[in-house]
Structures are given as structure tokens and as C-alpha cells.
Amino acid sequence: MSKRRKPNSAMLRKVEGSIFIAPWVFGFLAFVAFPLGYSFYMSFHQVRITVTGVQTTPVGFQYYREILFADGGLLYDDLFPFLREALVMIPIIIVFSLLIAIMLNLKFYGRTAFRVIFFLPVIFSSGQIITEFISQGEGELSIIQNLRIDSFLAEYIPASWAGPIQNVIGSFVLVLWYSGVQILIFLAGRQTISASVYEAARIDGADPWSTFWKITLPGLAPFIFLNVIYTIVDLFTFPSNPIIGKVTTENYGVSSALAWVYFMIVLLFIGIALFLYGRVNKSMTARR
């Protein structure tokens, strides 16, 4: 009688891994991949919903031409100011989150309570709540009006940038309120840097300022990149996003084309972040 061949451990690990990942693969194909593919298909068709079902008529690149060239106001009048706002908001959120994470990593009385306070808005806030706050004028800093910063911006900064900067300042508290996840990521990243490295730096006579630039910031470079990607995605899905507000069900073909154009813009921002991170990482590696 021949002996039954036992499956090796590598094969068992592959089978176990496939079983564990199967629900995610099914969910991705059913709830992400199929809607994405179908929306891309609809962007090239005129879609009509009738009692008998969905009727599609091919229109080619007509909707893309209308969005990008024929009717520029559909995209550019609202998109370009929002992109300028994003360029202002991203560094503010990253720098603020980094500073708060460094402070929360210090040992002081009530540190846990402060960590919870900074993360609470992530738990309780939703798109509808934030939209209501903005519509009621909440989140504005009264000192901005007292110092007449808006007049200063209108006088010394081009109008194309003065408006977006003023909008960011007008909702400055809400911008900082959206920094909870970034603070948590920076805090986790800061704790990956060994305390012995800082101890060695203190023995060598390094001051806190030099320690920050030579140890903390290079050690947090991957987490800075991660937070930049997260912030880009978070801002481009912000409740007050003007492009998302234009995606309606009146014309599924136009909405799908607009969504895909917007998706390409988001990928462009992420690609720029990847490029800059690669250059910075290469420069830091060369210095070592």
C-alpha cells in the first residue's frame, strides 16, 4: 500500500491565507470593482432609467469633452479654488498634527485625556454634522475679523489665492478638528523611534532643536507621507467638496464622467506626493 502524501506546511499556509482573504476579495469584486467598472461604462453612454430597466445609448467621449472643454464652468470654476484650498489645508493639517503628536508623546499629567480629546471629533463627527456646522458659521476664529486679515489678503494677495485662503481661515477650527487620525499616526510613528537614539544624542550634546531635525523628522518621514496621502483622500471627500455636490442622479452618464475626471485628479495629487516622497527619501538615504 502506498503512503498517503501529507500536504506540506507551505501549501497549508497558502490555503489558510486564501480562505482568510476570500471574504475581502468577494467584497471588493462585488461592492467596489463592479460599481467602478459600471460607472466607467456609463460615462460613455446616455443612461435612462425606465420601468423596463436601464437603457443606454453610446455617446463616446461626448461627456468628457463637455466637462473638460465645452462647459469649463462645470469643472474649473469650482474645482480650481477648491484645489487651492487643498494646497493650503494639507500643510496646515500635517504641521499641526506633527506638533501635537510630539507634545502628546511627552510625559505629563492628563496626557491620556488630551489624546482622547484630540481624537473624539473623528468618532463623533460625520459629513452631515460638519456641513451643518459650516452652514451655521461655526468653526470661524473671531480674531480673524478683529485683525481684519481678510482685508489684508484682498489687498496683498492675488484674488485667485485670497479667496481660498480666506475660506480656509474661515473654517480653521474645523480644519484642525479633522487632524485626529493624523495625530494618532504621528504618535504611533514617534513611538517607533528608540529612546536610546535620543539618549545618545543628549550625551553628544545635541539640543532639542537639532534632535528634532536630525532624528525625529527623518524617523517620521514615512509617516508624514502616509498622512499626506490620507489627508489628500480625506479632503477630496470633504462634505463641502463642490465637485461631489455636482454628482447627481439627473444624468448618470455626465455624473459618471465627472466622477472619473475627479478620480484622475485625485490620483494626480497622490502621484505628486509619491514623487516628492521618493525624492526626499533618496536625498535622506544619500546623506546617510
Q: What digits encode the pLDDT tens for the residues 104-133?
A: 888 888 777 877 777 777 776 655 666 666
Q: What is the C-alpha to C-alpha distance for residues 179 and 98, in angstroms, rounded to an integer?
A: 10
- pLDDT score at 1: 47
Residue from 130, 133, 166 nearest 147 by CA: 166
β-pair partners for 190: none
Average pLDDT over residues 82-91: 82
Cβ atoms of 256 and 247 within 8 Å: the answer is no
Q: What is the C-alpha to C-alpha distance for residues 277 and 288, in angstroms, rounded to an integer?
A: 17
Average pLDDT over residues 12-24: 88
Average pLDDT over residues 2-6: 56
- pLDDT score at 155: 67
Percent of the chain whose pLDDT exceeds 90: 4
Helices (H), 157-251: 159-170, 172-177, 180-190, 195-203, 208-211, 217-219, 221-235, 242-246
- The domains found in the chain, sorted by start residue, are 9-61 (no CATH), 75-246 (1.10.3720.10)
β-pair partners for 53: 50
Neighbours of 200 (CB within 10 A): 12
Task: Kindly give, in sequence order, each residue whose CB lies less than 8 Å from that of residue 133, ignoring residues fewer than 6 positions away.
Answer: 139, 174
The owner of cell 478683529 is: 146
- pLDDT score at 56: 84
pTM of the predicted structure, to 2 decimals: 0.75
Residue 272 scores a pLDDT above 70: yes
Maximum distance among all Cα pairs of the chain, rounded to whole angstroms: 94
The most confident of the ranges 65-79, 168-182, 268-282 is: 268-282
* DSSP letter, residue 52: T
- pLDDT score at 53: 77
Residue from 174, 159, 187, 150 nearest 235 by CA: 174
